[in-house]
């Protein structure tokens, strides 16, 4: 009893309406309240190492300002404090504005008006309108029109009380499914209070009592409870079929009354609205690591400066640094000289870590995400959805993907199912719907031989007999009166059984308009597939269904439905023909072949028949068709009633109800008779073969993870270019134990190593994968190496858990680390989408669970090519360079202060005035942000035509240790050049005009040099980039004048400095040009003597050809023209340029003109050039 009390709660039905003092149904999706916003936001921001660092710097500066007996700060502390506060405040306001929008949405939901009913003493109804937030568990809610349910409620009475007391709902707000779903009042309620229910009027007897139900939980597909009414001695079981969840739309039903069970944050949808753990991008990992490295580098630099004081003998004076404190009093610090100066230099070099780094990266991420979302070439017109970016911090990860894990159904295929074939008594029938004139039934064609014949290839090779509604049919036909007499009486009887099963064994709902709505595309395909044979659902209630079976109207009484789920993989229904024998009940069942065949006793006891059926299934799978087994059995009334008692006991049990119901269903689904096999076609989505081919060329290993059987998966894989005609398959199926799995895996690995594995593919199934010993490290490594050697992997019969585990295995064990991407469209794909580094969801026909949980959501699989090859590659290159440049610029300014310390006798004096020094990151922020958002090194048409350019991000070219070292060396070169020129050129300025005049000139030269470097980084120019640079320079000059007019230390310095010729000649022009000349020389050296692959790509684009510099092969020009004719088109100079680039590309694969693909060539801006677009 104690355990039951923990798992269940009791809710008293509230017959009177008293406004609650609290707000039990109030929802809140906000992160902050008015009081917690600022402290909580600041706490979140100080989880970033850089912000903690600058907080420490600010504290040390303030101590130096107000406690000079410890140390004296070389900079104005408020210059750093104000900057830090500005950065923190901007981020806090941004988060606060986002939270404010959530608060407005919550307020709208909480203030919605809802009608709650109660009963007066005489039993009359009282309706009270209250705000949604004041609804309490047990309240009686009235639903009407097309309104959304305000709480999770149990439906008790509806306007369809005479038709099973049911209603229809739409769950699009929960799972994205737009089709209508049936909900019904508890079936036993009609048995207990039938007369009151049939009247259709709410009376107190129906609503007085209590509900015992589960504690709140997030499982939206299950519900267990019991309704106890004062007017009935029987406990009435409640299930998910009686529960309407919050946000479901009450549709196609005039009115309804229900009892609230879960409210507010306890509703199932709110409990599922928990944010998944955020994913950290590779760049963020580099960023955190870089900050730590830079911090220790700063400490080393500080230590070198302090040691230099002693080496250069500046510690041998009678007082501390007398050239700084000439009165002989020293600094007044109680600390030793080395410790005092160590802190001083630590504060002086604080800009080594860029304070604006996080803000810059975030703004670039937001800009890149905006461009992805606004890309019209990734807009799905049918669904009216663009590409949705839900994790902007992962946009650059799209350019580094090495492994893609894809679902099949609804992802590679359209999930638009059509019944195209079925098998009855070993004979195959084609459903040739397209060949039928209007008003006639589709023609069935069948073989004269058993489909298990190994010579069977396709329906086109078969001699056929027609079964149509033509009167001259001699072999049997479907007429308005049903099956006519023919020599095949047994065959006709079995065909009738088959059509009856497909017409009745389902959960399809027919709307008032006559349109079918189904929870599964497979069910809809079966019902619509037989509709052409004058078979279909007319009307359905909870107790019976009216159908048309081969033109005859029939009514079947429904006693029980055992629904399909992922564990059972089958569904069944117990019915009785009201026009047939009263003591004959039918069990109709359909499901997956591996589940259903063992339940068919006639098949299990006949090995020959089982072999023929398996061969038939294989034939259908080889055509890429999805198969289901259809079976039935007959029960006597005694057998049916005995089972129904067991089913009812399971339905009312308060513990383990789902398990008990499943066990009861399993008892019914035994000793079945095989009726037939259905074959459903699911066509590929548009451009899937081309997209997969391009992704394979890009060096991405593709994994197809599906629940289909092996043969179906292989056939689909071949049709979508996942497997080529010459691909060698390594089959790992039907493994019986872990020992065999390990042995076969090692054998396959040895074969792949021996052959090179360039065109191999691994095929593995879920039952075999279950024997994989996850703790065997050697086997884990072998499995990963097999995946790396293969061009693709096809995994079949997988559960959602196995999909997630495969993704996790590849993500964690691959060396070097693999960037994984999972893509799917259904709820069963959510686990692998969340596990992958990048999750992509497709707006599917089975709902939007995958899209809702993904980092990116797209309308079709074909958009993945553009998302990765174009946007992903661009974003990786842009973001990498933004990161490197941000580190580089702060390294340069810190090194100028380091070099200057040897000109000021290592005193710790700042060359730059504090507020000028603080403006450094702001002066250089705007141009690099626009570069990170808009720059393109190659045009999109060229990248799409030549997918191998994607390898830039896969090999992490821009963030390799060698690349990082080059940027560090470049920063040192910049600092040396700037210091050598300015410190000698402006020597007189130092002596006569003052420190800050010289410092402003040096600072200007430094900023302009780094502006020039940003300009040199651009591969193309657009107006926003030009404007951003002009604004930055203009604002810097205006800033000088503002500071000159508002600070004592810098009074009039800006005006005076800008009037000097040295400021304009050296600061604005000469030094920046000399500094950037270093980059020009380096670029030319690599271009002419050791070109990088990216340089070759840009040169090839300019010459309208492609060359892969990563492969040690011969460079071949393949186009519609010969090499000579192509050379003539280019002209002599262009031709020699191509040869030059080709000559220097040490590793070359092939050259392809971009016009050879189907993409419309445009005139792209030349990579590395300065074209205005």
Strand ranges inside 890-997, DSSP E: none
Let me know: does 207 contact 259? Beta carbons within 8 Å.
yes
DSSP element (H, E) containing 640: helix 637-652
Q: What is the DSSP letter of 955?
A: T
Q: Which of 152, 407, 430, 522 is catalytic?
A: 407
CA distances from 495 to 291, 425, 531, 660, 1048 (A): 73, 9, 14, 34, 99
CA atoms within 13 A on the CB side of 981: 23
* β partners of residue 152: 262
Q: Which of 561, 560, 496, 564 is nearest to 530 (CA)?
A: 496
Q: What is the CA radius of gyration of the chain?
A: 37
- The H or E element spanning position 549 is strand 544-549
- The answer to whether 1104 is a known catalytic residue is no
Instruction: Please report, for residues 233, 760, 915, 1003, the alpha-carbon distance to residue 979 in angstroms, rounded to integers and kept in the order given.
Output: 95, 59, 21, 11
If 0-12 CB within 10 Å is exposed, 13-18 middle and 19+ buried, where does residue 4 land?
exposed
Q: Specify whether the CB–CB gap between 935 and 1036 falls below 8 A.
A: no
Instruction: Give the residue from 641, 663, 638, 667 showing the smallest Cα distance to 653.
Output: 663
Q: How many residues does the chain have?
A: 1173
Using CA atoms in the order 1163, 1164, 1168, 1172, what is the torsion angle rounded to 10 degrees? Answer: 80
Q: Cβ neighbours of residue 979 under 8 Å, at least 6 residues apart?
A: 895, 896, 899, 900
B/e letters for 959-996, b = 16+ CB within 10 Å, e = fewer, are beeeebeebeebbebbbbbbbebbbebbeebbeebebb
Q: Which of 1083, 903, 934, 1104 is nearest to 363 (CA)?
A: 934
Distances (CA, A) of 977 to 354, 524, 891, 920, 1006: 22, 74, 14, 19, 10
608 contacts: CB under 8 Å, gap ≥ 6: none
E strand residue ranges, 1001-1081: none
Tell me the three state secondary structure of residue 539.
Answer: strand
Any idea of the CA torsion for 1157, 1163, 1164, 1170, to the nearest 10 degrees? 160
Tally the C-alpha atoms within 13 A of residue 1153's C-alpha that lie toward its C-beta: 17
Q: How far apart are CA 943 and CA 946, in angstroms?
A: 5
Query: If you ran DSSP here, which 8-state letter would residue 144 be given?
Result: E
Angle (CA) 1021-1027-1032 rounded to 5° is 120
Nearest to 784 by CA among 807, 800, 801: 807
Residues 427, 446 contacting (CB under 8 angstroms): yes
Q: What are phi and psi of 219, to 5 degrees?
A: -80, 105
d(CA 623, CA 617): 10
* Phi–psi pair at 210, nearest 5 degrees: -150, 165
Helices 777-789, 800-813: axis angle to 10 degrees equals: 90
Q: For 373-377, which contacts have Cβ atoms below 8 Å and span 24 or more sequence positions?
A: 375/866, 375/871, 377/863, 377/866
* Helices 49-66, 337-348: crossing angle, 10 deg rounding: 130
Q: Which residues are catalytic?
A: 407
């Amino acid at each position: 009893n104690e355990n039951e009390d923990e798992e269940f709660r009791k809710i008293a039905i509230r017959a009177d309406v008293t406004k609650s003092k609290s707000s039990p149904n109030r929802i809140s999706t906000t992160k902050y309240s008015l009081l917690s916003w600022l402290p909580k936001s600041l706490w979140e921001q100080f989880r970033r190492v850089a912000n903690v660092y600058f907080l420490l710097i600010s504290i040390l500066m303030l101590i130096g300002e107000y406690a000079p007996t410890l140390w004296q700060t070389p900079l104005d502390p408020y210059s750093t404090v104000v900057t830090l506060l500005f950065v923190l405040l901007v981020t806090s306001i941004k988060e606060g504005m986002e939270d404010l929008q959530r608060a407005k949405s919550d307020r709208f939901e909480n203030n919605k008006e809802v009608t709650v009913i109660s009963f007066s003493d005489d039993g009359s109804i009282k309706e009270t309108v209250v705000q949604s937030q004041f609804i309490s568990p047990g309240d009686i809610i009235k639903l009407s029109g097309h309104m959304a349910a305000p709480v999770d409620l149990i439906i008790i009475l509806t306007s369809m009380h005479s038709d099973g007391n049911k209603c229809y709902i739409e769950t699009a707000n929960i799972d994205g499914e737009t089709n209508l779903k049936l909900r019904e009042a508890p079936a036993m309620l009609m048995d207990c209070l039938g007369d009151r229910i049939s009247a259709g009027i709410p009376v107190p007897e129906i609503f007085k009592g209590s509900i015992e139900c589960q504690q709140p939980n997030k499982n939206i597909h299950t519900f267990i409870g019991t309704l106890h009414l004062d007017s009935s001695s029987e406990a009435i079981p409640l299930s998910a079929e009686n529960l309407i969840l919050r946000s479901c739309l009450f549709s196609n039903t005039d009115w309804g009354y229900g009892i609230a069970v879960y409210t507010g944050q306890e509703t199932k949808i709110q409990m599922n609205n928990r944010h998944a753990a955020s994913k950290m991008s590779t760049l963020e990992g580099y960023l955190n690591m870089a900050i730590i490295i830079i911090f220790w580098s700063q400490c080393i630099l500080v230590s070198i400066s302090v040691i230099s004081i002693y080496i250069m003998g500046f510690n041998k004076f009678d007082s501390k640094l007398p050239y700084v404190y000439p009165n002989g009093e020293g600094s007044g610090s109680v600390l030793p000289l080395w410790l005092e100066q160590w802190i001083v230099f630590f504060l002086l070099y604080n800009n080594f870590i860029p304070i604006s780094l996080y803000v810059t990266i975030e703004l670039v991420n937001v800009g890149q995400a905006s461009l992805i979302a606004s890309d019209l070439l990734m807009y799905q017109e049918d669904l009216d959805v663009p590409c949705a970016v839900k994790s902007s911090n992962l946009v650059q990860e799209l350019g580094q993907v090495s492994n893609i894990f894809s679902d099949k159904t609804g992802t590679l295929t359209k999930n638009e199912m059509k019944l195209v074939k079925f098998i009855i008594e070993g004979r195959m029938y084609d459903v040739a719907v397209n060949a039928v004139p209007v008003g006639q039934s589709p023609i069935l064609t069948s073989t004269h031989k058993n489909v298990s014949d190994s010579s069977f290839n396709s329906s086109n090779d078969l001699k056929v007999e027609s079964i149509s509604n033509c009167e001259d049919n001699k072999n049997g036909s479907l007429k308005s009166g049903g099956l006519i007499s023919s020599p095949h009486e047994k065959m006709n009887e079995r065909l009738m059984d088959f059509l009856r099963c497909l017409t009745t064994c389902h959960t399809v709902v027919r709307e008032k308009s006559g349109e079918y709505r189904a929870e599964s595309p497979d069910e809809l395909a079966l019902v619509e597939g037989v509709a052409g044979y004058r078979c279909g659902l007319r009307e359905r209630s909870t107790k019976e269904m009216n159908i048309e079976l081969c033109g005859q109207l029939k009514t079947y009484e429904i006693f029980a439905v055992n629904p399909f789920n992922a564990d059972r993989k089958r569904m069944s229904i117990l019915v009785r023909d009201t026009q047939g024998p009263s003591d004959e009940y039918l069990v109709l069942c359909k499901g997956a072949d591996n589940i259903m065949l063992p339940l068919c006793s006639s098949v299990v006891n006949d090995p020959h028949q089982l072999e023929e059926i398996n061969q038939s299934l294989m034939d259908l799978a080889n055509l890429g068709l999805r198969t289901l087994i259809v079976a039935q059995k007959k029960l006597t009334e005694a057998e049916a009633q005995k089972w129904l008692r067991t089913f009812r006991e399971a339905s009312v049990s308060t513990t383990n109800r789902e398990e008990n119901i499943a066990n009861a269903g399993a008892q019914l689904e035994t000793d079945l008779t095989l009726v037939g096999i259905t074959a459903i076609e699911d066509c590929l989505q548009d451009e899937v073969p081309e997209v997969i081919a391009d992704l394979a060329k890009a060096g991405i290993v593709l994994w197809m993870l599906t629940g289909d059987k092996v043969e179906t998966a292989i056939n689909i894989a071949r049709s979508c270019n996942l497997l080529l005609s010459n691909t060698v398959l390594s089959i790992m199926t039907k493994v019986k134990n872990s020992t065999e799995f390990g042995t076969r895996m090692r054998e396959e690995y040895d074969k792949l190593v021996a052959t090179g594995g360039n065109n191999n593919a691994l095929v593995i199934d879920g039952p075999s994968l279950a024997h994989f010993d996850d703790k065997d490290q050697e086997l884990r490594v072998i499995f990963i190496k097999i995946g790396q050697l293969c061009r693709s992997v096809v995994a079949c019969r997988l559960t959602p858990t196995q999909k997630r585990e495969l993704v996790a295995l590849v993500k964690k064990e691959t060396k070097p680390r693999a960037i994984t991407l999972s893509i799917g469209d259904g709820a069963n794909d959510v686990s692998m989408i969340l596990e992958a580094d990048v999750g992509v969801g497709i707006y599917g026909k089975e709902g939007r669970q995958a899209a809702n949980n993904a980092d990116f959501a797209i309308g079709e699989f074909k958009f993945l090519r553009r998302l990765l090859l174009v946007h992903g590659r661009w974003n990786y290159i842009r973001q990498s360079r933004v990161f490197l440049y941000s580190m580089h610029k702060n390294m340069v300014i810190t090194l100028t202060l380091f070099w200057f310390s040897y000109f000021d006798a290592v005193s710790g004096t700042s060359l730059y005035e504090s507020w000028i020094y603080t403006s450094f990151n702001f002066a250089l922020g705007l141009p690099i942000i626009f570069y990170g958002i808009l720059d393109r090194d190659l045009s999109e048409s060229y990248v799409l035509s030549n997918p191998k350019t994607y390898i830039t991000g896969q090999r992490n070219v821009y963030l390799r240790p060698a690349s990082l070292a080059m940027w560090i060396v470049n920063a040192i070169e910049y600092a040396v050049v700037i210091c050598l020129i300015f410190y000698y050129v402006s020597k007189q300025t130092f002596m006569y005009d003052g420190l800050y005049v010289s410092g402003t000139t040096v600072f200007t030269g430094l900023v302009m040099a780094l502006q020039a470097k940003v300009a040199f980084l651009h591969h193309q120019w657009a107006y926003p980039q030009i404007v951003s640079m002009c604004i930055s320079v203009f604002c810097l000059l205006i800033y000088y004048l503002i500071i000159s007019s508002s600070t004592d230390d810098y009074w009039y310095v800006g005006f005076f400095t800008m009037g000097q010729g040295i400021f304009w000649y050296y600061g604005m022009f000469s030094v920046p040009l000399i500094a950037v000349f270093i980059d020009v020389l380096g670029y030319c050296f690599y271009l002419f003597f050791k070109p990088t692959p990216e340089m070759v790509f840009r040169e090839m684009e300019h010459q309208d050809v492609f060359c892969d510099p990563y492969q040690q092969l011969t460079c071949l020009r393949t186009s519609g023209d010969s090499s000579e004719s192509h050379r003539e088109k280019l002209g002599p100079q262009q031709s020699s340029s191509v040869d030059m680039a080709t000559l220097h590309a040490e590793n070359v694969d092939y050259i392809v003109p971009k016009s050879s693909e189907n993409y419309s060539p445009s005139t792209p801006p030349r990579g590395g050039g300065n074209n205005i677009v």
